[in-house]
Chain A
Amino acid sequence: MSVLLDVQDLQTRFQVRKGYVYAVNGVSFQLDQGDTLAVVGESGCGKSVTMLSLVRLLPPAASIENGQVLLRGEDLLQLNLRQLRDVRGGEIGMIFQDPMTSLNPFINIGTQMAEPLIYHRGMSKSEALARSAELLGMVGIPDGEARLREYPHQFSGGMRQRVMIAMSMSCEPAVLIADEPTTALDVTIQAQIVELVKELRDRSGVAVIWITHDLSVVAGIADRVIVMYAGYIVEEAPVDALFEDPRHPYTVGLMGALPSLAGETGTRLTTIGGSPPDLVDLPDFCPFHPRCPYAIDRCRKENPMLEPVIDASDGGHRAACWVDIREVELEAGAAAGSV
């Protein structure tokens, strides 16, 4: 498979009163055609800002300081707004977390859905509406023609998310960025949406970037996973390798913190003590070390680079950690910190 999207050393920061918040600090990754990449991390780790930076959908306080975003070799960061508009919604489709606020409540669904088709595909209004009705059917909303005349409040949360998906896929994008698309939804609806995106992906061959904080969802949908912490990628791996052989202490901590539907109960969850750092300074140490049970002296002095792990079961497994955590036996309970 060929590389579709190549992101190099992306840095985004926000201007705040006292200086800057360093949200994305040198993120590089590649996305192959038809691949699904999951981006995992807790709130404030920079996962959304990274992906919004790709299409420069950032608030005014944010600025991209460095980096390249090559879509089929063309740097999106160098495009002017007019050119970028053809990419947004055309080459790169987006689904956002909250389907309640991403649709305009004053405009009926049909008009909203037709807009990108008219703009990007040059369809007439009636062609666009006919296509929109088909798209609604494709995402599992029956009776599309009638529903096009309805307004967002007449749809449930899951249905609105289906509408968003239909819109984002309407211009057959090469990349679909889904920013926590199921977080606001109930678990049965989440399962429906995940299945829908998988089906659309398999049918259309779109490459998907799925941003989430939920590792369990990742297991079912991703080919590869990026774990982010404090604006850095701390681990990147094929999905099986990540779950079976996680190498960064943060990834290990996230997995231990996850209660599951199988396995032992009555055990304590391992926790990651403390909370994520403020990003007001660029650290010259590992940003995770204050919470890390494996931390050694070097972690306090140098920030590790993302490098291939030793004895990887799979190529493309990289982690940013000074310690080979397989060689360290933790004292019992050492991972269970508190504030």
Chain B
Amino acid sequence: MSQTDSSNRAPLVRVENLTKHFSVRIGAYGETKATVHALDEVSFDVRRGETLGLVGESGCGKSTAGLTLLQLHRPTSGKVYFEEKEVTGLSEKEMRPLRRRMQIIFQDPYSTLSPRMTIGNAIGEPLWLHELASGREAQERISRLLNDVGLNPAFAFRYPHEFSGGQRQRVCIARALACEPEFIVCDEPISALDVSIQAQIINLLQDLQEEYDLTYLFIAHDLAVVRHISDRVAVMYLGRVVEMAPKERLFDNPLHPYTNALLLSVPVPNPRQERQREHIVIQGNVPSAISPPSGCRFHPRCPLAFEPCDHVVPEWREAEPGHWVACHAV
């Protein structure tokens, strides 16, 4: 459950100036090379036992951040530490024992499970690969995991097509839990699900966190969900983290104009409030990550933009204790 005071806990995962660029070919015939600045100089830490929410609009690099952090993408530059041990630069073989401790749950439970594998085998696979259990013991572990995620252990012999989206996401969670990880990247784990099912999965993730002392990096675009589940929240825009703070601080007193704009964009589920609320709609679209704006990447859409914003990259600084922001105007 939410640890409101996680400020004095040691970081489990720390990311320093993490950068990931992708080379792509553009133009009708792929004749031009270009670079996608998916992730630029991103720094944050995730403390043991907490949930760090990572929010932003599509294409802002939040999933890339999760994948690069797990070394599923090799970073272009920057460092990732797990328990203060650097993992960037480790070979795949050296990485393997750490992979057991860092897992991921993906967005789409329809494409992440092999349709030809029973869910028992899908959940058991990490056990066998990491040689954690075999035979009877593995079967027992699988039953227990199914039970933990609220599924009937007898389902182990069924195939994914027999399950609904919410149930499949439970299977994916069981699979991530199989090798007893400490850290799980939840990459939009509920975005593909219906509202009533979303709530079930959110509650499940919170229960499991408490039970197994898990640390989450919770990636999502839904601010209300992130507010609900996170202890601290980082906001990304176009490859950069623009603000990071404990959730109460971030939602009650956002410093960055983008965070503010995001919060004002979220509809309030209350008709009377919604009619009275000021509707400041942020103009324009997110620019392309192939040629991001110079200086502060938000400046072309920013209501507060002034002289240095279009050519000086704002410094990532701690405006108040625990409240980090990158903006010239605050």
Contact = CB atoms under 8 A, between A and B. Distances in A.
Given A187-B223, A191-B282, A266-B2, A216 B266 contact: yes
A261 B266 contact: yes
Contacts of A261: 223-224, 227, 251, 263, 266, 268
B313 to A, nearest CB: 22
Contact of B167 (A265, A336, A339): A339
B281 A195 contact: yes
A239 B270 CA distance: 9
A212 to B, nearest CB: 10
Contacts of A220: 267-268, 271, 274-275
A222 B281 CA distance: 19
A43 B166 CA distance: 12
A310 to B, nearest CB: 22
Contact of B271 (A43, A219, A254, A271): A219
B294 interface: no
Interface string A125-138: 00000000000000
A216 B277 CA distance: 13
B134 interface: no
Interface stretch (B104-112, B116-124, B200-208, B303-311): B200-208
A299 B264 CA distance: 42
Interface stretch (B12-20, B73-81, B92-100, B190-198): B190-198
Contact of A156 (B150, B251, B281, B285): B285
B286 interface: yes
A121 interface: no
Contact of A275 (B152, B197, B203, B270): B197
Contacts of B36: none
A269 interface: yes
Interface in B255-293: 261-275, 279, 281-283, 285-286
Contacts of A195: 279, 281
A21 B271 CA distance: 35
B203 A269 contact: yes
A100 interface: no
B268 A260 contact: yes
B267 A266 contact: no
Contacts of A159: 285
B58 interface: yes
A256 interface: yes
B165 to A, nearest CB: 8
Contacts of A276: 194
A265 B2 contact: yes
Contact of A43 (B194, B202, B225, B282): B194
Interface in A216-252: 216-220, 222, 239-240, 243
A83 interface: no
B196 A257 contact: yes
B274 A272 contact: no
A328 interface: no
Nearest to A220: B274
A243 B270 contact: yes
Nearest to A264: B228
A243 B271 contact: yes
B201 to A, nearest CB: 9
A91 B152 CA distance: 51
B269 A243 contact: yes
B282 A255 contact: no
A158 B266 CA distance: 16
B114 interface: no
Contacts of A254: 195-196
A268 interface: yes
A110 interface: no
A300 interface: no
A265 B195 contact: no
Interface string A202-226: 0000000000011111111010000
A188 B200 contact: no
B151 A339 contact: yes
B7 interface: no
Nearest to B166: A275
B265 A190 contact: yes
A74 B196 CA distance: 38
Given A189-B285, A266-B4, A219 B267 contact: yes
Given A42-B195, A257-B195, 4 more contacts: A187-B57, A189-B57, A214-B267, A216-B268
> Lowest 8 CB-CB distances: which A-B pairs, in order?
A257-B199, A259-B228, A191-B265, A186-B57, A42-B194, A272-B196, A269-B199, A216-B267
10 contacts: A188-B282, A189-B57, A190-B265, A219-B271, A220-B274, A254-B195, A257-B196, A261-B251, A271-B199, A271-B203
